[in-house]
Amino acid sequence: MVRITEELVRKRAEHNECEIFSLEELSLHQQDLGKIEHLDKWCRHLKILYLQNNLIGKIENVGRLKKLEYLNLALNNVERIENLQACESLKKLDLTVNFIGELTSIENLKGNIFLEDLYLTGNPCTQFDGYKEYVVATLPQLRWIDGHEIEKSERIKAMQMLKSIREKIVAQQNEYLEKRALQKEEAKNKPIELEDNDEPSEDEDEETKQKKDQEFWNEKVDYTPETRTSIQNKIQENRDKTHDSKFKQPEIKRERRYFNEEGQPLNVNEAKIDFKLTETEDDSAFVLDVACYKYMDTSLIDADVQPWYVRVTMKGSVLQLVLFEEVKPDSCIAQRSQITGHLIVTMPKLNPPPVPALRPDVERKTKVETETPEKPREILEVREARSFSDNLANIARESPNRIPKSKATPDIKEPENSPDFVDDPDVPPLI
């Protein structure tokens, strides 16, 4: 049996540009699906869902599809109507040619008030006496049953006879369920009988296979979900043998290119992970912040820095970024944040921009402070004084640099007056 995968759903969503989160209509018919799964999580906005001609045995995992209006499950192996109560927008349900024998299970559809159209043609329950009347009376919201419009007179009569009809339906249903239990036991014992048979020899392998195929197709069996599944598996097996080379082509994985034809690196993000490439404040280095998963083991992460690009490999997926300036790989530092788990790669540039020149006043001050004086500075020592006035007096009186009066320069004698000098008292003295 085939399972529903994201690749299959995207392939069927080509009309929606392969986007599945906003998908409103999806067709998965004739895919040999054995189970309904994942659609309630991937395609929450589905309105129409085609699942006919598969091997689905149970209605499940559709409760979150609140917008679902039409569900087609014709030609499947469904035996009971269930798990549709939460599909509040359901208008049409097609269960043609299934194996529904528990007719009372339609009572699970009473809460689907918008359900107008129901198809049960080809199910064992349609052979029950009073089948149509029971369905019409149980589901008063229906307008069509098996493609026929329900008239008011039919509904009134069916509702009047509902109690007696339900008793007949339950009795016939129990008979069918007993018969169905015997069929399940026979299906369980059949594989055991086949295993007891001797395996054919290599010489008779082809002939034995042909005989077994003839016996398989000529055998008369009841039409049950088990026989239908075995028939479908046999058809698939024969199809693989005869049409394998014609319809199945080997999958060629696209080769990822990290460099162009000229040898220049390319930007690649196989991991599809968030990252941030910035520069430091002084533009001297690049800083790469890769949002690695918090609980990913560091041994699964590899960082490779080259002069013109950086490559981070996480579990085989590559993140490669081109650098627009050359860096120094030997001086790079890679660190992992213990809080967020992010990978931080610091890559110094090979030719960082020059440091801007200082202002003249700042440069002069720096030069004076850095020069070594030729002579040590003389420090004026001042003794402790009781008051500021005493301190000043001591400075003038006890300064070690003061020259004693005895050692001062001798007074210069004035020259003697000439013989012609006349001392006139009216002439002021020269200053």
Q: Tokens standing for 159?
A: 């509702």
DSSP string, 185-238: HHHHHHHHHHHHSPPPPSTTHHHHHHHHHHHHHH------HHHHHHHHHHHHHH
Q: Which of 2-6, 146-150, 198-202, 262-266 ranks highest by mean pLDDT?
A: 146-150
Q: What is the CA radius of gyration of the chain?
A: 49
Residue 120 has pLDDT above 90, yes or no: yes
User: Tokens 């001392």 sit at which residue?
Assistant: 423
- Percent of the chain's residues with pLDDT above 70: 77
Burial of 288 (0-12, 13-18, 19+ CB in 10 A): buried
Tell me what the mean pLDDT of segment 377-385 comes to. Answer: 50
| pLDDT (0 to 100) of residue 412 | 64
- The span from the CA of 92 to the CA of 142, in Å, is 10
pTM of the predicted model as reported, rounded to 2 decimal places:
0.55
The ranges of the chain annotated as CATH 3.80.10.10 are: 6-175
The ranges of the chain annotated as CATH 2.60.40.790 are: 268-348
Query: 320 in helix, strand or coil?
Result: strand
Residues 6+ positions from 365 with CB-CB distance below 8 Å = none
- The span from the CA of 244 to the CA of 232, in Å, is 17
Q: Does domain 268-348 have CATH number 2.60.120.10?
A: no
User: Tokens 């026929």 sit at which residue?
Assistant: 148
Regarding the domain with residue range 6-175, which homologous superfamily does it belong to in the CATH classification?
A: Ribonuclease Inhibitor (3.80.10.10)
Query: What tens digit of pLDDT does each residue of 188-238 get?
Result: 876 544 434 444 444 456 667 677 767 766 777 777 888 888 888 877 777
